[in-house]
Amino acid sequence: MSKNKIHSIKQIDRILEEKLRGRASALVYNETREKVIEKYKEKGLTVEELEKIIEETINRYEKSLVEPGEAVGTVAAQSIGEPSTQMTLRTFHYAGVREFNVTLGLPRLIEIVDARKKPGTPIMEIPLIDEYKYSEEKAKEVARKIESTTIENVSKEINVDPYEGAVIILDPEMLSDKGVKVEDVISILEKLRLGKVYVDPEDPYTVHIELRPEKVDYTKIEKIRTKIANAKIKGIKGITKVIIQKRGDEYVLVAEGSNLAEVMKVPGVDYRRIYTNNIAEIEAILGIEAARAAIIREIKEVLEDQGLDVDIRHIMILADIMTWTGRIRQVGRMGIAGEKPSVLARATFEMTVQKLVEAATEGAIDPLLGVTENVIIGQQVPLGTGIVEIYMTPYTPKEEEEEDIEAVIEKSR
Amino acid sequence: MQKKKPNILEHELVPKHEILSPEEAAELLRKLKVNPAQLPWITIDDPVVKAIGAKPGDIIKIIRKSPTAGEFIAYRYVVVDTLQPRKKEA
């Protein structure tokens, strides 16, 4: 073991300088140096070990390089596209949580790439802060604040009748489960301004509303019923269900529905780690960079869930392009493909005739800089070695120089 | 109990954003041989841009955590995007 031990940091620097400098980027060089020195201080190193480390570093570095002119976008498209043909077409799938349906597989991938404003099954993951995350009781307390409870959730029956008014029969079990009192229900109903609200003298769980005469309209009965049923007693709008999950030693809330802005404000919620699968919402509240990170995370999860192994860099380039303009752009006619600068490239994708007619009416010019347009007209494409062009400066030697050359020739004689 | 309003800059999905000084920005553009509009954009109504107080024309340096490169530095150019105004969400 002790053969060729390295004695000093200077020696490390000398070896690094000799073997690594110039073969990897400065960033890699500095990081390698830092880590090697750290390990050296910890355990010591032999020259052989250091040389192996350097060799491996160079190896990995060279493997990770992309040559100029490489069609990274096309390769990414194919690398994501091909495995997705193997994905299940089934939308619903149970993802560890029995209570929820989550869109997975191809339908979910399409949702992300199409930049839908709202996912089919919005889900939030809500971690809690230290004081709350180890106790199930406290987690429940927060869950109750978040889960939205409507009149419908706590009642057995809601009947609206033009003669008798509205009758709401409450469910005592649901009331206690959701922690709602009859008084709460009454005060909510009074806010609806439908008429006088009172509890049935014979049954404490039956609430009557005496509809005001101007509200009694046969065509609006169903509307009134919906208004009563959907009246929110408490909680956050959009969140229909919250369950508590144990992950490791902490309790995490998983919510069906999504409302990032409101949930972040709830006390007890760790807003630094809160997550939603609604990417548009992330963009609106946390910004484009967070949306980029979320796109990567979502696509990666979808692919991994199906057992597909796609290099993260392909997904990263996709997310980069989708967020390039500072907004999430869809991958398709309305987004990335529709905003290409070339007329021919746009026409190739979808709606060929319309695009060409549009271009003709506005007298568009195609500078033929991209790949597609050059394929169409049968020119060399600007990719790989095709990206190199020769620039020639026509140059006529000036008279003076000619004389100079003659002078030189003369001298040499 | 948290009393303050949630600070989005602390969120784990939000990487560090820094505004470049005009000198740094000029140096960057020279190094990359690009004009600012060729950088990726970030709109003026982006929540992070508002939070750090960047103005249109600024270049923002973004230090992302990357699974492949450890740390990756990206730049975005602050633009006023009038093509797709952000829809007010309820």
A224 in Cβ contact with A166 (< 8 Å): yes
Work out the burial of residue B15: count CB atoms within 10 Å of its CB; fewer than 13 is exposed, 13-18 middle, 19 or more buried. buried
pLDDT in 10s for each residue of chain A, 413 residues: 456 777 788 888 888 888 887 777 777 888 888 888 888 888 888 888 888 888 888 888 888 788 888 889 999 999 998 888 887 666 555 555 556 677 778 888 888 998 888 888 888 888 888 888 888 888 888 888 888 888 777 888 888 877 777 788 888 787 777 777 777 777 777 777 777 777 877 777 888 887 777 766 777 777 778 877 777 777 788 888 888 888 888 888 888 888 888 888 888 888 888 999 899 999 999 999 999 999 999 999 888 888 888 989 999 999 999 999 888 888 877 777 777 888 888 888 888 898 889 889 998 888 888 888 899 899 888 888 888 887 777 777 666 555 666 666 677 66
Dist CA A325 CA A143 (whole Å)? 37
Q: Per the domain annotation, does B37 fall within a domain?
A: yes
Q: What is the CATH number of the domain that holds B22?
A: 3.90.940.20
- List, as one string, the DSSP characters of A311-352: -HHHHHHHHHHHTTTSS---SSTTTTGGG-S-HHHHHHHS-H
Lookup: tokens for A299? 């696509």
Which tens digit of pLDDT belongs to each residue from B24-67?
999 999 999 898 888 999 999 889 998 898 888 899 999 998 88
Domain count, chain B: 1
Dist CA A290 CA A275 (whole Å)? 11
Residue among A366, A315, A314 at smallest CA distance from A340: A366
Distance to chain A for B84, nearest Cα, Å: 8
Host domain of residue B65: 13-79
Dist CA A28 CA A55 (whole Å)? 13
Q: Per the domain annotation, does B3 fall within a domain?
A: no
Cβ within 8 Å, pair A287-B47: yes
User: Same fold for the domain at A73-121+277-339 and the one at A149-234?
Assistant: no
The DSSP element (H or E) to which A22 belongs, if any, is none
Nearest to A326 among B13, B43, B70 (CB): B43
* Domain at A73-121+277-339, CATH from 1.10.287, 1.10.1790, 1.10.1760, 1.10.357: 1.10.1790
Residues 6+ apart with CB under 8 A from B68: A64, A312, A313, A316
- Give the residue from chain B lying closest to A238, CA to CA: B90
Residues of A with CB under 8 A from a CB of B: 31, 64, 129, 131, 264-265, 267-268, 271-275, 281-282, 284-290, 293-294, 312-313, 316, 320, 323-327
Sequence ranges of the domains in chain A: 9-64, 73-121+277-339, 149-234
A149-234, what's its fold?
Gyrase A; domain 2 (3.30.1360)
DSSP A251: E
